[in-house]
């Protein structure tokens, strides 16, 4: 019992630590972790987090791939340029950030191992590719049975899809590497990362590429968890379809300085404003419906915060738009404030890391 409580104290202290983040460098070898690991397996990115000294260190890889035909000459060029790839069925599978470079050169979209937060049923080699991308970040741990907490989405309320297959495939793969895998809801990971000062009580919302994940937590207990299968990819796809541009190009424009508080200057920005508002409204109305239909909501003495994380919340003016839309819904719980996570792209990985520390025995 003493060791378990010590682990919890270590985890709580870690939730206050600063995240030192970086992107996976081309040609860099995967790490062999020593100690618990947090792993955010998102539609857009995969992020590994480790507790190191005074900080939590994260490494990020793009969860995408691109295929090109096999040739000996091409293989030589790829190897000489440290491009991350593997070969199968007379094709090269270009992985991670290298894949994005290829897609931009060909003015087309990368392919994804995941769609709307779950393993893609449209990619025959999706599982193999996802495992290869994870392997660019982590290898077998130095100590067999090391704890790894990995993120999983909540059950979608707007789709018949189940998360069971997705969770089981990832758990089996991580077990084969020698880890002791434990899944953690992505919304709860946001709570664990951002709401330590509130006794881990509040609503954590992770707005990623494929999904928005929601968790109402009371004293770190996930009371309600769910997801909607709309996220940043939905915005990119719908705007692209509206203006006749690839979603990859829309994503690049979106991430280069979109400000929702500034009047749009062109068709693309107009589309981004429209579909950001559509996403926020869909999310908040789902929250209203789920909370009102639940009989699990605890009696909480004071207003609770909402913590927002994920790449989708990075747009300038996002919080203001979210707060304005929040005023138009009727929630059975009083909200004290809306916070943007300190490091939105690494929040889930940090929260998973906190959980891994608490589970380490």
Where b means 16+ CB within 10 Å and e means fewer, 339-351 reads: bbbebbbbbbbbb
Which region, left, alpha or beta, applies to residue 106 given φ > 0 means left and ψ of -120 to 50 means alpha? Answer: alpha
Q: For residue 38, how far is the Cα from the chain centroid?
A: 12
| Residue matched to tokens 């690991």 | 37
Closest CA to 186 of 220, 231, 227: 227
Per-residue pLDDT of the chain (361 residues; tens, 9 = 90+): 444 444 678 788 888 888 999 998 877 889 999 889 999 999 889 999 999 989 999 999 999 999 999 999 999 989 998 888 999 999 999 999 889 888 877 777 788 999 889 999 899 899 999 999 999 999 999 999 999 999 999 999 988 888 999 999 999 999 999 999 999 999 999 999 999 999 999 999 999 988 999 999 999 999 999 999 999 999 999 999 999 998 878 988 999 889 999 999 999 999 999 999 999 999 999 999 999 999 989 888 899 999 999 999 999 999 999 999 999 999 999 999 999 998 999 999 999 999 999 887 5
Pairing of strands 91-95, 114-115: unpaired
Residue 224 parent element (H or E): strand 221-228
**Can you tell me whether residue 59 is helix, strand or coil?**
strand
Q: Which residues contact 240 (CB under 8 A, 6 or more apart)?
A: 246, 247, 249, 250
Pair 357, 10: CB distance under 8 Å = yes
Distance separating alpha carbons of residues 211 and 44, to the nearest angstrom: 10
| Residue matched to tokens 């009102």 | 292
Distance separating alpha carbons of residues 290 and 110, to the nearest angstrom: 34
Distance separating alpha carbons of residues 267 and 153, to the nearest angstrom: 33
| Residue matched to tokens 């749009």 | 264
Distance separating alpha carbons of residues 94 and 100, to the nearest angstrom: 9
Pairing of strands 179-185, 146-152: parallel
Pair 243, 271: CB distance under 8 Å = yes
Q: What are phi and psi of 328, to 5 degrees?
A: -95, 0
Distance separating alpha carbons of residues 67 and 69, to the nearest angstrom: 7
Q: Which two structure tokens, joined as six digits, stand for 261? A: 């508080």
Residue 337 parent element (H or E): strand 335-340
Closest CA to 310 of 239, 210, 218, 217: 210
């Amino acid at each position: 019992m003493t060791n378990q409580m010590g682990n919890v104290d270590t985890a709580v202290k870690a939730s206050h630590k600063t995240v030192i983040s970086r992107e996976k460098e081309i040609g860099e070898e995967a790490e062999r972790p020593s100690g618990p690991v947090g792993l955010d397996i998102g539609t857009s990115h995969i992020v590994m987090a480790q507790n190191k000294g005074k900080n939590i260190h994260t490494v990020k890889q793009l969860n995408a791939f691109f295929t090109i035909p096999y040739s000996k000459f091409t293989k030589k060029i790829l190897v000489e340029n440290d491009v991350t790839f593997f070969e199968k069925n007379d094709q090269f599978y270009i992985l991670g950030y290298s894949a994005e470079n290829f897609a931009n050169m060909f003015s087309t979209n990368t392919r994804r191992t995941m769609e709307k937060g779950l393993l893609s049923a449209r990619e025959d080699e999706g599982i193999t590719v996802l495992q290869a991308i994870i392997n660019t970040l982590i290898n077998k741990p130095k100590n067999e049975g090391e704890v790894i907490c990995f993120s999983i989405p909540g059950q979608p309320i707007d789709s018949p899809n189940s998360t069971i297959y997705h969770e089981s495939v990832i758990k089996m793969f991580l077990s084969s590497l020698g880890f002791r895998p434990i899944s953690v809801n992505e919304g709860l990971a946001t709570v664990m990362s951002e709401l330590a000062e509130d006794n881990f009580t509040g609503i954590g919302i992770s707005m990623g590429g494929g999904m928005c994940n929601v968790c109402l937590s009371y004293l770190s207990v996930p009371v309600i968890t769910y997801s909607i299968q709309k996220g940043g990819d939905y915005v990119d796809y719908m705007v692209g379809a509206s203006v006749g541009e690839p979603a990859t190009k829309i994503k690049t424009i979106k991430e280069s300085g979109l400000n929702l508080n500034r009047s749009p200057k062109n068709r693309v920005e107009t589309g981004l404003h429209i579909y950001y508002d559509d996403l926020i409204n869909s999310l908040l109305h789902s929250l209203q419906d789920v909370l009102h239909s639940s009989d699990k909501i605890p009696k909480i003495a004071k207003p609770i915060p909402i913590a927002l994380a994920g790449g989708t919340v990075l747009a300038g003016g996002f919080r203001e738009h979210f707060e304005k839309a929040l005023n138009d819904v009727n929630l059975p719980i009083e909200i004290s404030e809306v916070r943007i996570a300190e490091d939105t792209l690494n929040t889930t990985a940090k929260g998973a890391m906190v959980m891994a520390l608490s589970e380490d025995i």
